Amino acid sequence: MRRLYFFPTPYPDECLYSIFCRYFVRSGSTSNKKTIFELFGEAQSITSFVYLPRRLELVDGWVGPDSLITRERLANSNSCYGYFSIAFTEMMLREMEEKIVTGGSNRSLERQMIQKCRRSHWPEYLRYCPECTKEDIESFGETYWHRLPQLPGVEYCPKHGKAIQNSSVHLKETTMRFLPASHTLLKLEGKEKAEKWMHKEKYLMIAKDSEWLLMNGRRLKGCREVARKYKELFMERGLTTAQGIRYTERIKSEFINYHGEHFLSQMFPDRKDPLYWLDFAFVSVSEHLRPLHHILLMEFLKGSAEGFYKAVPDNEPYGNGPWPCINKLCHHYGKDGAEKISVSYFNGQTIGQFHCAECGMKYQRSRPWQTFEEYADHAIKLDYGHLWYDKLRKCILEDKLCPSDVAKAMKSTKKTVEIRAAEIGLDIRVNRRTRIFYSKGKQVSADMYYHEKVSEVLEEHPELTVKELNELVPGAYAWFSKNDFQWLKDRLVTDQEKVYWAEWEQEQLENLKEAYATIQKEGDSNRRVTIGWLCTVAGLRESEIKGRLHRFEDIRAFIGEVVESKEEWLERRFKVVAKKKKELGQEIILADIRREMRLKPNTYKKYALFIEMFIKELNGDNRSESD
Ligand SMILES: [Zn+2]
Ligand SMILES: [Zn+2]
């Protein structure tokens, strides 16, 4: 696109549309279309430039890269971006900020922005303050379209206190036409509607807050951050539970009380439920709020948008410190000693983290209403702290306490102590004393207990490694290594042996596959394929395979694939019989099955129903095929 020869210097609070209008006039253009092509290089609807900083990628072409008129300045001072940005999602905001910096074209963002901002009910006509217009002419020799009067809810000029007037320019007319204010605002009006005048102070507040947001809205960082702050401020006002669940009805009635029912019905005349959006104020759906909603909420909470921005939520869902330490070994336990690390909100929970400087324990709570007795044992310990670990080391290494005494000394459970000890490389069981063993309800010696238990396990798992044993019978290995190691050694397999077995499996798998191939080629096709048959052909004992199936996954898979269940076998054979009969043009009947297959009476009886259904099915197939 060709560089423009000049670009009008923007006036204070002038919207982009107005700048383009002045360009149109000063360039002496007589064709709207021609000027639109000069500016955008293509057809472009220009209405949205009343509000939005669009097509910023073209700014270098409008003003040249070294101009003081930058994308940043146009977005900030000549569009309503700051105002609308408080309703933007994090993603839109990020993309827009990026666009302002890089000037990259982003059409989908533009579409989203228009969609979002249109929902704000743009007024029907371009509007103006008569006093501002007079001042413009005095200062600059011409007037222009300001941003502020175009915003919904702005009914009075905050500077002059005058009622905002509709011009004769309908917003729809601006789609493809440059209609400069200096040509339009020849006769200034001063109408003031009684119902607006009734609430002049309220409208002035909205105008002031709209103005503040135009200039500062970006500092609020989008609807998510705003919603987060709403939640905190609602909480501060006692309008939510401690966990942040809002009291819907109370919020509504206090809100109506603050703004006045009459004023609100004027602001939202079309809706049956004009305050439906109050329910959206908190995080997840807050993007549905319009800037005007935000303004009313901010005023309700902190008097103004600026007040809202500056407010620091006074929020202590966990009360005021010092908070109790929850380390039972610490002399601050249950009393004090802990400081707050943070309070944050996550997934609807109020997470508080605390730290005792004395013992180093850090813990986290998520239910602010619980009493100390309720949470002390359940709070998540983020760090047990130096005091706790030092004592644990002493118990195990110096005092040589047995596990249950360690737990007692630590005022904790054996399990907790065991896990924590393992973390610092200690085993609480090193000082274990004789345990009492029971077998089948009777007290027995450790000797008997372990021999019995391991023998039992070995029956089920003939090839057991040390690791597996430790899982199945904890403590057994340690006992045997002190007392009867040879016995255990003779019965366990090592990892090397496991390798041997793995090789053995692959070898036998090959054998079995070969056996299966032989059966397929030369075996009696009437015979059912079973593990026994496969083993016989492969030269293996059936028990060698069957007894180890649970361990040999590959063999197990292969067997599962080729060995036939009784039903599978019957089915296979029926099909052969049926095929023969079909070739003769006959249906298969029960007598055929009896004669051809020579089933044992028991087998026949057991599978009678299955056989009957299958015959029907096969005959059905035959018929439909011969039709
Ligand atoms: Zn004014
Ligand atoms: Zn402590």
Does residue 216 register a pLDDT over 90? yes
Q: What is the pLDDT of residue 283?
A: 65
For the chain, give the percent of residues with pLDDT over 90.
47
Low-confidence winner among 14-18, 49-53, 212-216, 314-318 (lowest mean pLDDT):
314-318
pLDDT at 366 over 80: yes
Nearest CA-CA partner of 78 in 89, 66, 68, 87: 68
CA distances from 443 to 404, 452, 454 (A): 20, 13, 17
Residue closest to 113 by CA, chosen among 37, 55, 74: 55
Strand partners, 323: 338
Q: What is the pLDDT of residue 57?
A: 92
Same domain, 507 and 619: no
What are residue 345's DSSP bridge partners?
350
In a domain, 308, yes or no: no
**For residues 202-226, average pLDDT:** 95
Taking residues 370-384, report their average pLDDT. 88
Please compute the mean of the pLDDT values over residues 610-614 and round it to a whole number: 80
Highest mean pLDDT among 203-217, 348-362, 368-382, 398-412: 203-217
Q: Are residues 458 and 412 in the same domain?
A: no
- Ligand 2 centroid–CA 339 distance in Å is 10
Do 484 and 577 lie in a common domain?
no
Question: Tell me, what's the pLDDT at 627?
Answer: 39
State in Å: Cα 348 to ligand 2 middle: 29
| Token pair belonging to 274 | 């004009």
Taking the centre of ligand 1 as the mean of its atom positions, its distance from the CA of residue 186, in whole angstroms, is: 16
Q: 199 C-alpha vs ligand 1 centroid, how far in Å?
A: 18
User: Do 333 and 452 sit in the same domain of this protein?
Assistant: no
Query: Would residue 315 count as lying in a domain?
Result: no
Is residue 305 included in any domain, yes or no? no
Confidence of residue 622 (pLDDT cuts 50, 70, 90): very low
Identity of the amino acid at 433: R
- Structure-token pair, residue 145: 């379209």
Whether residue 614 lies inside any domain: the answer is yes
- Paired tokens of 393: 């080391």
Same-domain pairing of 76 and 178? yes
Same domain? 147 vs 232: no
Q: Whole-number mean pLDDT of the chain?
A: 88
CB 331 within 8 A of CB 321: no
Instruction: Please say whether the beta carbons of 532 and 542 come within 8 A.
Output: yes
Q: How far is the CA of 260 from the centre of ligand 1 (A)?
A: 26
Residue pair 611/604 in contact (Cβ under 8 Å)? The answer is yes
Check pLDDT > 50 for residue 560. yes
The lowest-confidence range among 34-43, 440-449, 555-564 is 440-449
pLDDT value at 409 more than 60: yes
The answer, yes or no, to whether residue 488 has pLDDT greater than 50, is yes
pLDDT of residue 165: 97
Predicted confidence at residue 242, as pLDDT, reads 61
pLDDT for 240: 80
Where in the sequence is the domain holding 555, given as residue range(s)?
497-562
Report CA(134)–ligand 1 centroid distance (Å). 9
Residue 443 contacts residue 436 (beta carbons within 8 Å): yes
pLDDT at position 202 is 96
Span 329-352, mean pLDDT?
85
Task: Judge whether 615 and 588 are in contact, CB under 8 Å.
Answer: yes
The predicted pLDDT at position 529 comes to: 92
pLDDT of res. 271: 72
**Within this chain, do residues 453 and 531 fall inside the same structural domain, yes or no?**
no
Ligand 1 midpoint to CA 405 (Å): 82
Q: How far is the CA of 465 from the centre of ligand 1 (A)?
A: 89
**Could you tell me the distance, in angstroms and rounded to a whole number, from the CA of residue 381 to the centre of ligand 2?**
12
Note every long-range contact of 471-479, with CB atoms under 8 Å and residues 24 or more positions apart, other chains counting: 475/429, 475/435, 475/450, 476/450, 478/429, 479/446, 479/450
What's the pLDDT score for residue 33? 95
Say whether both 362 and 418 belong to one domain: no
Q: Which of 266, 300, 334 is the last residue of a domain?
A: 300
Q: How far is the CA of 323 from the centre of ligand 2 (A)?
A: 10
Quickly count: other Cβ atoms within 10 Å of residue 36's Cβ.
Answer: 21
Instruction: Examine the domain organization and report whether 130 and 50 are in the same domain.
Output: yes
Of 271-280, 420-429, 601-610, the range with the lowest mean pLDDT is 601-610
pLDDT of 624 reads 44
Q: Which residue has the higher pLDDT, 465 or 206?
A: 206
Whether 203 is in a domain gets the answer no
User: 215 lies in a domain?
Assistant: no
CB-proximal residues (5 Å) to ion ligand 2: 325, 327, 330, 332, 337, 356, 358-359
Ligand nearest to the CA of 136: 1
Long-range contacts of 254-263 (CB under 8 A, 24+ apart): 254/300, 255/296, 255/297, 255/300, 258/299, 258/300, 259/202, 259/296, 259/299, 259/300, 260/199, 260/202, 262/198, 262/199, 263/199, 263/202
Q: Which residue has the higher pLDDT, 552 or 218?
A: 218
Same domain for 502 and 522, yes or no, is yes
Kindly state whether residue 21 falls inside one of the protein's structural domains. Answer: yes
- Domain-embedded: residue 204: no
The CA 332 to ligand 2 mean position distance, Å, reads 5
What local confidence, expressed as pLDDT, does residue 623 receive?
47
pLDDT bin (cut points 50, 70, 90) of residue 609 is: confident
Res 317: pLDDT: 73
Q: What is the mean pLDDT of residues 258-264?
A: 94
Residue carrying the six token digits 């047995």: 402
Residue 621 has pLDDT above 60, yes or no: no
Asked if 173 and 66 sit in the same domain, the reply is yes
DSSP-derived secondary structure letter, 268: S
Mean pLDDT of 384-400: 91
Q: Say if residues 323 and 332 touch (Cβ distance below 8 Å).
A: no
What's the domain count of the chain?
Answer: 7
Q: What is the pLDDT of residue 355?
A: 94
Cβ-contact 509, 555 below 8 angstroms: yes
| pLDDT tens for each residue of 294-304 | 999 999 999 99
Same domain, 72 and 132: yes
Dihedral in degrees, nearest 10, Cα atoms 397, 401, 402, 404: -120
